[in-house]
Amino acid sequence: MSSAPEPVFEAPWHAQLFALTVHLNETGKFDWPDWAARFAATLAKHGLSRELNGGDDYFIAWLETLEAFLEEIALADPASVEDVRAAWERAYLTTPHGAPVTIDGAVEP
């Protein structure tokens, strides 16, 4: 009996973040070597006290890198990023357990 392959990503948001980063690179928003150097620096910073396992800690470092990089190349404004983060946090905290988390209404960039 063959077992099902383990998922490549532990959580859907990990896959979405990865796909967004690849899309931004493939559409010419940044070069992969620039991204990789920044991500390596973030991993080193986060990994000083423990090994990152490719789960949430790894992708939190990935997100931190992407947000900073997009701000640096003027593709994301920190205030807008914070507005979206806060909207997701409100949605998460007010969504009943087991229900999908969505942002009600549009979040203006």
- Look up tokens 């007010």; give the residue: 94
**pLDDT, tens only, 81-97:** 889 889 988 988 999 99
Strand segments, DSSP code E, in 1-109 are none
The answer to whether residue 31 scores a pLDDT higher than 60 is: yes
Which pTM does this prediction carry?
A: 0.73
Residue ranges of the domains in the chain?
A: 12-94
pLDDT of residue 54: 73
Name the packing angle between helices 56-72 and 78-94 (round to 10°).
150
108 pLDDT band, cuts 50/70/90, is: very low
What's the burial of 100, exposed, middle or buried (CB within 10 Å: 0-12/13-18/19+)?
A: exposed
